[in-house]
Structure 1
């Protein structure tokens, strides 16, 4: 296929080069040698274009397409028949040039499943009577006992033989958090062992495994998509009959075949052939400048028609990796910081949750220390000594003793937030629970609003995650329907059902999304984190880690199709007018060919409007203003963890008088001072820059009002803190302080989220991994 595509491309380039050289050579010979030599070269040039043009017509008929090339063939043959070689050479150049442009614009990247296949397991470690043999995965048979080493891909479907397996199933389910499979549980091939080695009893061979099924689904779904049909052919159904009738009438009325050829020459559908490809090439260029690779003009046209959006959850509307969101202390009176101890211990653990805990501690400015005597047990947790304390991190039973009622409340709280729990034990007692969850992208809600504005009428979430986790996120971003707990085959089935009712676009980022991306009308892969099978199976790849680019691309696609249609209609209208003039005898074939050149230029200039600004181009901060937003964004990321600590500080500051209360009030005072400095920068630097870009009378007025509310709450907290320091035993200021800090917490979360969604996106700098 690749060789055939290269030959086709080279043939178009050669034809254009030959006809262009022939037109120039004929003119040179006619001037230097004589009219006969020049006309001969022009006739040969016309014949060079006529032969492939006849084949293009025949090939179209074989594929049940009756396209605009018919007029070009008649015009080329007519110029030779009536002795108008110059007109024929001009048509030849325009026809082959248009074909070359169309080939470049309409060329689609083939759905290469190389990345998907490269991830498939190749070998397996089989237990034998004499030890362990490494064999090709195709030799594994059901019932055999295999060893899956740490970090390896599970070769086939099977059952955990003994112990527990900790697996990264994101390749199949898209879920970023690892899962534990105890002895006897089923394990699917294609998942990754994220824990210690474990033994697996095979239940399928490699051809019947889950992963192999994903590959087959992607291949089958890719084969179902129809090829791109040129926009020109859709207008040919009316244009061709009208042209032939007018040419025939002119011939009969004037009894002169030259007049009919003149009509055919100006009717040569170069605007049809050129305008649409140039518009789509321009649209592809616009997308590329925004970090989006669209695999061909046909893909861009189908994207412009999309009315239904299918989207995965994990890694698409969420960041795709767990993050520490909350710390619940079992005993708030303890002096040890459980997060500091847990993160220090987890520094030596390869577990994905351990890295999230370490990252969360560093974001909060904690200085970690080196652990000692570390022991890790797969499926349970890690244990070691940190700063003289015996620390355990993992399951509740592993971490230490705790009140069962408190554990139930904590687990209910985590379930309500869609979070996973990690328990921290210090010196044999449960000290805290850490809540981690996959955060929603800060630009997700805004992206879905823009998609609705761009023409998406229905949004459907398709995910392998649980319904209780997927449902709230779907409602947050405005999904009309949420399908949870889906396998890759289930996603394909929904994509096919939705595609049967309306043009669809599917967005995903994991291997498990690849079949659905191929089954949908247009597949969009978020490929910023590396080349994955979804990127290979998709028609559109967003190379930057910003979901908002999807809405921009859809808007560009719609504008591109609109401009292409307008350009084609303008070209056809001018050509029809010229045809009438030619039919009346006021245009010779040679003059008609030159006029047709002018019509082509008009159509091309119209198509190039895609490169200019349109409604799809959002306002942007640039230069020094963009750098300002980057600096303020860094301050936001530094302040977020401190904002998340406000509820705990409120409880501590309103607690019993003593060292803990004083430390909490000091922390509050320090936070409020830093917050005030940040808000002043926003008001003095960021908001004026945003106002200049957005325009209007006062586009940042509502956000400035938020600053006023934050300042008032900060003032009240300062006054209550001073009152509490003066009267430590007074109950009223303590209660008021707790309530006021909780109010500030709620206002800041909303205000920061609004700034990041509405303002920071203007400079494309916000880290989607942020809160």
Structure 2
């Protein structure tokens, strides 16, 4: 069945007991008790039938859920003639399903807002005019007119005009931003200013917004491990319930006592409180620009003990700038030619260093050639042909692994913590391009906050040289700094750290994707990071700021705490009620009313996870 149909069923099934229960009470007041009992039984049967169908479907999937206890209590109540109690349980169960649907709908509204803003049409320049086209038909290189009020349908670069954008749906930031010619604009941004021209850099299906939509849809389909854990122990819970009910019946000789125990044992607190609280946490995170892909991620975040950070684009801003060019001796070419050739090849790479070279070459007005036969090793380097010349550029180890140096003159790479791009042309070392990057503002404060939240170990894992890593991390509270790391090395670090407890990996590049997948929770910076890292990660920071990391942990821990409070309080009260029923102090009707109050209380308590 589809999700909308399930939602309709949860809301619609409550109508039967909601109508039948007061009807039966009215009939009883008029002295027609037999008719009242019939009304209550008829009100119960649709809920019981729906519940039995759900149980059969679950059993066919080899899933044993807590719904069996609810079905058993209704059936037992009808069998011993306690039709009023059965109707109250039916209302309790159906009402709980409705409350769950309502609570999840409220909790997911911030995430669903992303889906409702999915752009479907766009104005594209065709020849000398404009034509409205579907977003799916847009190809890289197409010129688009983004009118006031339009949502950008694809990622692209501003070609003409100044953009005034509302990014709140993507990042949670309420203040508008301004972007000028040449700036990169993500899909899903709302134009609140004058119209501007955009050149598409990706197709709609590959755009940042489409990736976010896919992640939101996956998150909405998720089921929390705590919920599955409840189902896993359903057999034990049911065994205890049946044993206590049987003991009460055996000791008193009264089957009604057993029914009262079963009625109070209906496990709605455990069924409802956990998913509602965790989905509420997902919604709260979305309001702050933190996209959590599933309720299981929220629960996992609450237990993180080690965090491994990438450097470029994560610990640092990832906006590299050209700091200088050092040519080989004797020179292979001049500085301008070296930059033009390197930038031409780097057009094929998504790496932040590649973007820096391409941006610098374009700023200087250099004409870039189309690269051919390109091969890239993620996070290490790239090679290919430009204008018939074979180029290799990237990290020192990558380039020197392809060519033989005549001397050790070039080994002073990365001195004083300056990142470099080594360049080889036709097998000869041609020079080094020096780059500069800046530590993110408040990085030290963020690391301190993570410590205060119970994170025991914080590590850096970077592909940069040791001198660069040491210069960037001086004075920061890292437990270890691992430099010159490949993608496989980062995976090994994550796996090694798992002996200390759950591990979070934070990164933004293609080379971080394997480590993100290996970690307990992978976290990607989605605004400037690669599609691979964003779609591999369990959590994406849509705001380009590390301060969302401690906030995400706070939200997760609060959601899990609220869920556990609801479960322990609800089940604890249910156990007390079961004991009272076994002693004969509560009738089935009284027990059903008590459990109804418990259910409402725990669901309302679970919704506290929505609040800041």
Whether these two folds match at TM > 0.5 is yes
TM-score scaled to structure 2, two decimals? 0.60
**Structure of higher RCO (CA pairs closer than 8 Å, 6+ residues apart):** 2
Q: Give the structure 2 partner of residue 560 of structure 1.
A: 559
Change (3 A) 1:375 1:307: closer
Render the CA deviation track for 1:223-272: whole Å, top value 9, x for unaligned.
xx998242535776875554334322321232111111111111211111
Match of 1:478, SS state, is coil
Q: Give the structure 2 partner of residue 590 of structure 1.
A: 589
Q: Distance in 2 between matches of 1:370 and 1:506?
A: 39
Q: Distance in 2 between matches of 1:582 and 1:377?
A: 79
1:75 positional shift: 1.4
Change (3 A) 1:490 1:284: same
1:91 positional shift: 3.0
Q: Distance in 2 between matches of 1:515 and 1:359?
A: 28
Give the aligned length: 439
1:13 positional shift: 2.5
1:409 positional shift: 12
Which stretches in structure 2 are left out of the alignment for 5+ residues? 28-34, 112-221, 327-334, 348-352, 373-382, 384-407, 424-431
Match of 1:460, SS state, is strand
Residue 223 of structure 2 contacts residue 275 of structure 2 at CA under 8 Å; is this kept in 1? no
Q: Give the structure 2 partner of residue 478 of structure 1.
A: 477
Match of 1:321, SS state, is coil
Residue 417 of structure 2 contacts residue 469 of structure 2 at CA under 8 Å; is this kept in 1? no
1:96 positional shift: 5.3
Match of 1:576, SS state, is helix
Q: Give the structure 2 partner of residue 416 of structure 1.
A: 416
Residue 46 of structure 1 contacts residue 88 of structure 1 at CA under 8 Å; is this kept in 2? no
Change (3 A) 1:59 1:603: farther
Residue from 317, 320, 333 that aligns with 2:318: 320
Equivalent positions of 1:663-682 (< 5 A) are none
Q: Give the structure 2 partner of residue 24 of structure 1.
A: 18
Q: Give the structure 2 partner of residue 282 of structure 1.
A: 280
Residue 465 of structure 1 contacts residue 486 of structure 1 at CA under 8 Å; is this kept in 2? yes
Q: Give the structure 2 partner of residue 426 of structure 1.
A: none
Q: Alpha carbon RMSD of aligned pairs, Å?
A: 4.7
Residue 307 of structure 1 contacts residue 458 of structure 1 at CA under 8 Å; is this kept in 2? yes
Residue 443 of structure 1 contacts residue 546 of structure 1 at CA under 8 Å; is this kept in 2? no
Change (3 A) 1:321 1:247: same
Change (3 A) 1:356 1:18: closer
Q: Give the structure 2 partner of residue 39 of structure 1.
A: 40
Q: Give the structure 2 partner of residue 213 of structure 1.
A: none
Change (3 A) 1:97 1:319: farther
1:51 positional shift: 0.7
Point out the more displaced range, 294-303 or 513-522: 513-522
Residue 292 of structure 1 contacts residue 542 of structure 1 at CA under 8 Å; is this kept in 2? yes
Q: Does 1:515 align with 2:509?
A: no
Match of 1:464, SS state, is coil
Match of 2:584, SS state, is coil
Residue 527 of structure 2 contacts residue 543 of structure 2 at CA under 8 Å; is this kept in 1? yes
Residue 527 of structure 1 contacts residue 543 of structure 1 at CA under 8 Å; is this kept in 2? yes
Residue from 299, 302, 311 that aligns with 2:300: 302
1:474 positional shift: 4.6
Q: Give the structure 1 partner of residue 309 of structure 2.
A: 311
Residue 42 of structure 1 contacts residue 85 of structure 1 at CA under 8 Å; is this kept in 2? no
Change (3 A) 1:269 1:444: same
Q: Does 1:491 align with 2:490?
A: yes
More helix by share: 1
Equivalent positions of 1:300-449 (< 5 A) are 300-323=298-321, 415-420=415-420, 436-449=435-448
TM-score scaled to structure 1, two decimals? 0.49
Which stretches in structure 1 are left out of the alignment for 5+ residues? 1-6, 110-224, 329-340, 362-367, 380-407, 424-432, 614-771
Q: Distance in 1 between matches of 2:90 and 2:290?
A: 35
Q: Distance in 1 between matches of 2:354 and 2:52?
A: 68
Match of 1:485, SS state, is coil
Q: Give the structure 1 partner of residue 225 of structure 2.
A: 228
Change (3 A) 1:70 1:496: farther
Q: Give the structure 2 partner of residue 58 of structure 1.
A: 59
Residue 224 of structure 2 contacts residue 278 of structure 2 at CA under 8 Å; is this kept in 1? no
1:576 positional shift: 2.1
Q: Give the structure 2 partner of residue 9 of structure 1.
A: 3
Q: Distance in 1 between matches of 2:481 and 2:433?
A: 28
Render the CA deviation track for 1:143-186: whole Å, top value 9, x for unaligned.
xxxxxxxxxxxxxxxxxxxxxxxxxxxxxxxxxxxxxxxxxxxx
